[in-house]
Amino acid sequence: MTSGLSFRWHPWQALTPDTLYNFLRLRSDIFVVEQNCAYPDMDGVDPHCEHLCIHGPRQQLLAYLRLVPPGLKAPQAAIGRLVVAHDARGSGLGRAAMQEGIRRCTERYPGQDIFLSGQQHLEAFYASLGFVTFTEPYLEGGIQHVNMLRQA
């Protein structure tokens, strides 16, 4: 389901106000409002990241994730804040975003493992992309998470 979609990476310095607003709003709509989870989404890490925005044919933001450089969230590079708009779920966009995130990560940090902290209910999804759980579940923002690693 990548036909008619645009995948675009944005370094922090090149973000337009509209792009920044749109992905922060999508993250807030899903992570805070839909999941009823009060947590500090703007964690000070965004300025150091690359941001993947996936837009539909009408330029609406359908999915997002960020690539975190090594040493900020974990010793490895990390993929985080994967989010798919409610009306785009079930379309394969989450998988497509993750595959693009993995591709970009291996391009930027060749030969290095990739870290993610994922919601536990998505553990099988991340495992299908090569990530292996290495922690017991833990509570973050009221939602069970696990730490996972994808070996290079």
The residues pairing with 133 across neighbouring beta strands, listed in sequence order, are 148
Q: Please tell me the predicted confidence (pLDDT) of residue 99.
A: 97
Q: Please tell me the predicted confidence (pLDDT) of residue 113.
A: 97
124, part of any domain:
yes
45, part of any domain:
yes
1, part of any domain:
no
37, part of any domain:
yes
Residues whose CB falls within 8 Å of the CB of residue 109, separated by 6 or more in sequence, listed in order: 69, 70, 76, 77
- What is the CATH classification number for the domain harbouring 56? 3.40.630.30
Domain that holds residue 116: 6-150
Q: Which of 52, 54, 66 lies closest to 1, judged by CA?
A: 54
Say which amino acid occupies 115: F
27, part of any domain:
yes
Per-residue pLDDT of the chain (152 residues; tens, 9 = 90+): 567 899 999 999 999 999 998 898 878 887 766 777 766 667 789 999 999 999 998 889 999 999 999 999 999 999 999 999 988 888 899 999 999 999 999 999 999 999 999 999 999 999 999 999 999 999 988 889 999 999 99
Side-chain-side CA neighbours of residue 86 (13 Å): 9
Count of domains in the chain? Answer: 1
